[in-house]
């Protein structure tokens, strides 16, 4: 019976990975971003029913979660503020493959970088001395050694918690030759999977781009962001602006970052949101979005048309909680 259960768990994980590990992993070089979206549109079409059913299921699960359920994130709260140890060893527009002639970084991969950063910081538990006695292949067998760690990264990318032996933090892991390049591919995979999705993709976000942000919407955002940060995780926000000076699909500006703090709301209704700007190294990554009294928004160097939580964000968090709960029961000391 134990063998059967173990086999079913492995098959379930393999099926989930097959649906969410797309064409970028089979391409010799990174194509233009538009070509990448085209490839993923075809890939996503094959998995639309399964992927959308999963999103809808976990959005429902999220609404039923209690404050106690979110305690599975509590031990990693300190990772959400920009810091060296739990930052990626690369940034958006600075991942090592960018080529203007090939247009493979034409728009940037902010959604992919932010998504990978958050997954790794919520789901990866580091065991530098291998106290949990994982059977890690010898470094002398570089192919097996890399495959071992690539599998752990794969599991995190499909919202499964893992213990990563031999590394102390994300900076070390993502800066390791062979693993860095693999994690960059996962950034591109996350970006393309989500942007080529009808349910939670780029075009859905484009539909929400506005010229002005209303006071009512600003008040609702305050409630939603504050509620999620209190649940010990950073929600991903998309920030938008129409008629931006660097044209993207008709002049739209869209950027995605995670929110790690929110101020008290002032008497006039204004407030600030602290965000991790993944275009910059960790020590220059702390930015603040200011919501003014009239509901308009401003971030450091420009005004914004709208802010909102990324579509599908609650579903992703709910799936993490689903897998973290049994993990934390087994490894309670890691989740405290």
Spatial separation of the C-alpha atoms in residues 177 and 165, rounded to whole Å: 17
Is pLDDT of 213 > 80? no
Helices (H) and strands (E) in the chain, counts: 10, 9
pLDDT tens for each residue of 101-127: 999 888 899 999 999 999 999 999 999
Q: Output the pLDDT for position 33.
A: 92
Confidence tier at 296 by pLDDT (50, 70, 90): confident
Q: Output the pLDDT for position 208.
A: 52
What are 44's two structure tokens?
């996503």
Confidence tier at 3 by pLDDT (50, 70, 90): very low
The answer to whether the beta carbons of residues 307 and 294 sit under 8 Å apart is no
Is pLDDT of 150 > 70? yes
Burial call 185-216: b when 16+ CB within 10 Å, e when fewer: bbbbbbbbbbbbbebbbbebbeeebeeebeee
The answer to whether the beta carbons of residues 256 and 237 sit under 8 Å apart is yes
Section 189-216 average pLDDT: 69
Section 268-273 average pLDDT: 96
Report for 9-23, 141-155, 202-216: range of highest mean pLDDT: 141-155
Give the residue among 296, 309, 302, 305 at the shortest CA–CA distance from 268.
296
Q: Output the pLDDT for position 241.
A: 77
The answer to whether the beta carbons of residues 80 and 234 sit under 8 Å apart is yes
| Global confidence as pTM | 0.91
Confidence tier at 9 by pLDDT (50, 70, 90): very low
Q: What does the domain layout of the chain look like in residue ranges?
A: 2-198+318-335, 204-309
pLDDT tens for each residue of 56-78: 999 999 999 999 999 999 999 99
Angle between helices 33-64 and 2-20 (to 10 degrees): 130
Section 263-283 average pLDDT: 97
Section 316-331 average pLDDT: 98
């Amino acid at each position: 019976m134990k063998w059967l259960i173990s086999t079913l768990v492995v098959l379930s994980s393999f099926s989930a990975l097959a649906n969410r590990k797309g064409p970028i992993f089979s391409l010799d070089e990174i194509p233009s971003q538009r070509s990448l979206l085209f490839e993923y549109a075809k890939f996503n079409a094959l998995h639309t029913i399964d992927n959308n059913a999963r999103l809808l299921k976990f959005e429902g699960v999220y609404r039923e979660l209690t404050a106690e359920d979110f305690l599975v994130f509590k031990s990693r709260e300190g990772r959400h503020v920009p810091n060296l140890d739990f930052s990626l060893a690369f940034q958006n527009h600075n991942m090592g493959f960018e080529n203007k002639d090939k247009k493979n970084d034409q728009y940037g991969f902010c959604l992919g970088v932010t998504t990978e950063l958050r997954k790794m910081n919520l789901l990866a538990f580091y065991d530098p001395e291998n106290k949990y006695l994982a059977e890690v292949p010898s470094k002398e067998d570089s192919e097996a050694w890399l495959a071992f760690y690539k599998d752990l990264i794969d599991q995190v990318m499909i919202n499964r918690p893992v213990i990563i032996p031999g590394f102390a933090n994300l900076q070390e892991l993502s800066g390791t030759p062979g693993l860095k390049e693999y994690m960059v591919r996962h950034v591109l995979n996350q970006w393309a999977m989500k942007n080529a999705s009808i349910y939670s993709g780029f075009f859905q976000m484009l539909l929400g781009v506005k010229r002005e942000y209303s006071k009512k919407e600003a008040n609702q955002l305050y409630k939603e962001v504050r509620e999620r940060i209190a649940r010990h995780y950073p929600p991903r926000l998309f920030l938008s602006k129409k008629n931006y000076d660097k044209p993207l699909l008709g002049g739209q500006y869209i950027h995605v970052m995670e929110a790690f703090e929110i101020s008290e709301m002032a008497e006039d209704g204004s407030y600030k949101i602290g965000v991790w700007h993944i275009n910059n190294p960790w020590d220059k990554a702390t930015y603040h979005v200011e919501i003014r009294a009239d509901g308009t928004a401003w971030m450091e160097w420009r005004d914004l048309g709208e802010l909102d939580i990324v579509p599908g964000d609650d579903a992703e968090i709910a799936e993490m909680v689903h897998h973290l709960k049994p993990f934390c029961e087994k490894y309670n000391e890691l989740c405290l």
